[in-house]
Amino acid sequence: MARGRIGRSHTGDSLVRTAEARKLLGVDAAATPEAIKKAFRHLAMLWHPDRNPAPEAGEFFARLSTACEHLLESAARATAAAHASTRKTTSRGEDRHQDTELDIEHICLGGQAEVALKTSAECTVCSGEGFIASTSSQLCPHCQGSGRVRIGRELFRCEDCDGRGYTRRVRCPNCNGSGKQIDTRMLAVTVPPGVLPGDELRLLGEGFAPESGKGRPGDLHLRIKLRPHPLYTLEGSDLVLERPVSAFVLLGGGTVTVPSPGGLHHLELKPGPAVAREQVIAGAGVPARGTRAAGKLRVRLTPVLPSAPTPALIELYHALQTEVERVGHNSLPEIAAWEKRWLLGK
């Protein structure tokens, strides 16, 4: 895998390569040469072809070496440039992007929500060293006993064994040598009413801390998702729910009560057919936010008939049927059409 020599000037190509190299090694723009070497060392432990039997390990290790060399050269150039310039740069941590599920109540009413943030913290077992002391001295796994490691084209003293080739340090089992562990931090977030799934809340200063430890942290971008609810769904800003309703209320009209996160609503139904229908209450969905208008509350009514008739109900059904026949088939046009086609004239 031949790679061109790194350019001596900051060409566009070089800047792209710097960004790629940082991504590969997991370091940010503020990383010191020591931090770059440390990151490379940790990755090399995982990817050195002598340690990793995967077929792609060799090529990946070579990419890591090239990236490390490039960043060390860039850092050396930046240091020279800093000496020549009085311009001070303040570092800022990376922004952080995360999804978070909110209840429908938060979306409609706003309020405080607890968000779990996974953070990379110093390993508590090895205090971030990546290694713990072993009882006996053993061949240094990092340099295979040579006391030196190659980074790019240069040989460096092995930091794991201080160049001795033997070490009493073994890779930490808690962090597998990375020096980092994942902690969960709970963050109380104030949710404004009217956020929708896909919206992003930006929390200033809740992103990653700067690698150098100085400067301000990045921002946290929380992408909103709706936690599934057994009754409510969202269609855009509209709040949708289904409700069973007596077929007699659909037929004769009446009042139907439905809930919403903001409280109860009463639907006044006019007499109509006993079929499923949607009833809409404007403005009772997700509230307006910014330029976005408030949504509707859409109630999908499903007719239900009594399943356990009592003698009194049966008597009423007969009376009802007699009345329907008396006023004629206008009230049952499907039956009239069917009987005209299939019964009359037979």
Query: Where do contacts with Zn ion occur on this chain (CB under 5 A)?
Result: 123, 125-126, 140, 142-143, 158, 160-161, 172, 174-175
CB of 39 to Zn ion, least distance (A): 15
C-alpha of 112 from chain center: 19
Which residue, 132 or 324, has its beta carbon nearer to Zn ion? Answer: 132
CB of 217 to Zn ion, least distance (A): 24
What's the rounded Cα separation, in Å, for the pair 45 and 43?
5
CB of 41 to Zn ion, least distance (A): 10
Which residue, 69 or 160, has its beta carbon nearer to Zn ion? Answer: 160
CB of 140 to Zn ion, least distance (A): 3
Which residue, 111 or 165, has its beta carbon nearer to Zn ion? Answer: 165
What's the rounded Cα separation, in Å, for the pair 120 and 183?
6
The label of the residue with tokens 């439905």 reads 258
Three-state SS at 325: helix
Residue 339: DSSP 8-state: H
Which residue, 45 or 158, has its beta carbon nearer to Zn ion? Answer: 158
> In angstroms, what is the C-alpha Rg of the chain?
35
CB of 49 to Zn ion, least distance (A): 17
What's the rounded Cα separation, in Å, for the pair 190 and 102?
11
CB of 2 to Zn ion, least distance (A): 29
Which residue, 158 or 258, has its beta carbon nearer to Zn ion? Answer: 158
CB of 61 to Zn ion, least distance (A): 17
Q: CB–CB of 178/94 below 8 Å?
A: no
- Could you tell me the two tokens for 105? 């109540």
Beta strand residue intervals within the chain, DSSP E: 96-102, 111-122, 131-139, 148-151, 154-157, 166-171, 180-191, 200-203, 220-226, 233-235, 238-246, 254-260, 263-269, 277-281, 297-304
Task: Output the CA–CA distances (angstroms, integers) from residue 8 to 4, 62, 66, 77, 283, in the order listed.
Answer: 12, 21, 15, 9, 63
Which residue, 123 or 258, has its beta carbon nearer to Zn ion? Answer: 123
Which residue, 176 or 212, has its beta carbon nearer to Zn ion? Answer: 176
